[in-house]
Structure 1
Amino acid sequence: MNWQNGFIAVDWGTTNRRAWAVDPGGQTRDLLEDGMGVLKVAPGGYTAEIDKLRALWPGRPMMLAGMVGSNRGWIEANYVPAPAGLDALIGALRRPAPDVVIVPGVSWREGSNADVMRGEEVQLLGAVAAGSAPPDGPVCHPGTHAKWVRMQGGAIGPFRTVMTGELFSMLSRHGILQDRLSGEVAANDSFRAGARHGLERDDLTAELFSIRARYLLGVGEADDASYASGLLIGTDVRIGLAFGGDGPVTLIGRSDLTALYAAALELAGRTSTELDGERAFLLGARAIAERLS
């Protein structure tokens, strides 16, 4: 495969898929964004989906990352144990076709503690390779499953996942709080009150029910959705800071999410920098491709 003539980079998740053309000079353009995540691909359907991606920019190799390489995806790319840098990922690439590589995920184990990531590794190592994130120190990747990572010498070190985004999604769609959590979340006074509570106290499940009780008694927050988000993110940040260590925190992800985490980190007395997750992914894809050329 000749990666010097450009390639297609695909971030293929559980529910969504996005593809970009990366030209020989490193410039990028959108090719595709749809809801064809791995859960939507029928058994035996990957051959047709890969052909569709090839047709977007014929003659170019493809780099696939994310859940497409999981045991629920096309072909499993086994986890690389942390600490893991770019060379470790490249050494474990799967090659299901002459013009396709699948980037593996990363795992971490210490005694009975264990964690995994798939997709975030490209963003993390891309940010470090481009100098947009430091090679050592704490990094947080907010999302459905937030990742707190201790980068070590430019490699992904120990990390821990917090199911913050998924919990908020479930609470806002199901159960007794759903009618209180339907509004837009903002880093307002209600958010900061929730984040402060999550940072300072260890009573998350009890405080969640208190949102309903205070509403019924007319003493609740003006914005329960933002309060609940702040409560969850404050708890998330408390867990992450205890795990991730000292120093400024690099936040990588969607700007709406990194802004919320930055607000909670400020309340915790910690500084942070924000980096767009899409940009980090493309930086990582280019760093891998350069080593394949």
Structure 2
Amino acid sequence: MTDISFIAVDWGTTNRRAYAIDANGAVLRTERDGDGILAVPAGGFPDAAAAIRGRFDSDAPMLLAGMVGSNRGWVDAGYVPCTATLDAVAAATVVAGDGIRIVPGVSRSADGRGDVMRGEEVQLFGAVAAGLAPGDALLCQPGTHCKWAWMAAGAIADFTTAMTGELFSLLKAHSLIGADMAAGDVADGDAFRAGVEDARTRDLPAALFGVRASGILGLHAREDAASYVSGLLIGSDCHARLRGDARDVYLLADPVLGALYATAIDIAGGRAHLIDSHAAFVAGITRIHARIRQDPI
């Protein structure tokens, strides 16, 4: 493929998305597959990168982000501490191969609490750079490990990671209430909203056991259990972050999960705005690439 300025890859643990991007920052083509870092054999990253270039029929430079830069990936790209700017992250990119760089993650360590992100920082910078969110804003990236980031003048000033999605999966697969949760799908209905409301005032461990008791006693339909538990967990996440503050939250999420978080944020007193996470990634990675080109490291 001609006219490719560079190839950007959002390379996670289990999935991978590659973008062929032209000199104007437009996406020429996208490839997505399940070849996350866990699918790459030891020593196999150079060949995996070459295969991506082969798909696009291009030897253009590559800029990789995500878990490919972790200690389980190709090269450990380290972390830029908060407050982290786009320029600081671009300056800390690490060479992994011929014309290939990896974006570092971002860390925070203060008040006795540490936290890290890897890959999400590109979306955060891009959301602001593309005008999808203000430079001073609270952004939320729902998922297995939900990120909440406080942006200041376009930089990542602070952030918190919540294991919301992972807890839901663990409860469904391995807990006493798992069988009840398997009886129905999560939906934004009365049961989900009740869970969000209960997360404001109830003891979370006790409320979770109550799912089992309610099923036995016939107080609630088993088909509603998954929605209620999802509401409890997402509600706990949102209440903890907003604490009654009626503020805007910019959601980088797929429509389904984004809709659930939007409902929970509304109940928690905030105002949710769903924005395109893929557009944010492209905007962020394009600007990091431009900074590297302007100031080669």
Name the TM-score, length of structure 2 as normaliser: 0.92
Aligned-pair CA distance for 1:40: 2.1
| Amino acid across the alignment from 1:197 | D
Q: Deviations over 1:218-269 (max 9, x none)?
A: 1124511111101100001012224x97621111122211111110111112
CA distance in 2, matches of 1:127, 1:163: 23
Q: Deviations over 1:50-73 (max 9, x none)?
A: 111121221211111000000111
Q: Secondary structure at the match of 1:65?
A: strand
Aligned-pair CA distance for 1:84: 0.6
| Amino acid across the alignment from 1:117 | M
Query: Following superposition of structure 1 onto structure 2, how do residues 43-192 of structure 1 map, counting pairs within 5 Å?
Result: 43-57=42-56, 58-182=58-182, 183-192=184-193
| Distance 1:89-1:285 versus aligned 2 partners, 3 A rule | same
| Amino acid across the alignment from 1:115 | D
CA distance in 2, matches of 1:146, 1:245: 19
- Alignment correspondent of 1:256: 256
Verify the 8 A CA contact 2:91 2:292 in the aligned structure 1: no
- Alignment correspondent of 1:236: 237
Aligned-pair CA distance for 1:5: 4.4
CA distance in 2, matches of 1:245, 1:65: 33
CA distance in 2, matches of 1:247, 1:218: 39
| Distance 1:128-1:267 versus aligned 2 partners, 3 A rule | same
Gaps of 5+ in 1: none
Aligned-pair CA distance for 1:291: 1.9
Verify the 8 A CA contact 1:186 1:226 in the aligned structure 2: yes
CA distance in 1, matches of 2:172, 2:148: 24
| Amino acid across the alignment from 1:20 | Y
CA distance in 2, matches of 1:257, 1:276: 13
Aligned-pair CA distance for 1:36: 1.5
Verify the 8 A CA contact 1:138 1:246 in the aligned structure 2: no
1:196 aligns with 2:197: yes
Query: Following superposition of structure 1 onto structure 2, how do residues 29-40 of structure 1 map, counting pairs within 5 Å?
Result: 29-40=28-39
Moved more, 22-31 or 43-52: 22-31
Verify the 8 A CA contact 1:20 1:32 in the aligned structure 2: yes
Q: Deviations over 1:31-63 (max 9, x none)?
A: 422221112222111121111112122121111
Verify the 8 A CA contact 1:150 1:158 in the aligned structure 2: yes
Verify the 8 A CA contact 1:137 1:246 in the aligned structure 2: no
Aligned-pair CA distance for 1:177: 2.0
CA distance in 2, matches of 1:12, 1:274: 23
1:275 aligns with 2:281: no
CA distance in 2, matches of 1:181, 1:111: 37
Gaps of 5+ in 2: none
- Alignment correspondent of 1:6: 5
Aligned-pair CA distance for 1:137: 2.4
Q: Secondary structure at the match of 1:149?
A: strand
Q: For the aligned residues, what is the CA RMSD?
A: 1.7
CA distance in 2, matches of 1:29, 1:92: 27
| Amino acid across the alignment from 1:41 | V
Q: Deviations over 1:68-88 (max 9, x none)?
A: 000111001010001111101
Aligned-pair CA distance for 1:278: 1.5
CA distance in 2, matches of 1:246, 1:147: 19
> How many residues matched?
288
Q: Deviations over 1:84-126 (max 9, x none)?
A: 1110111100011231110000000103211000010000000
- Alignment correspondent of 1:217: 217
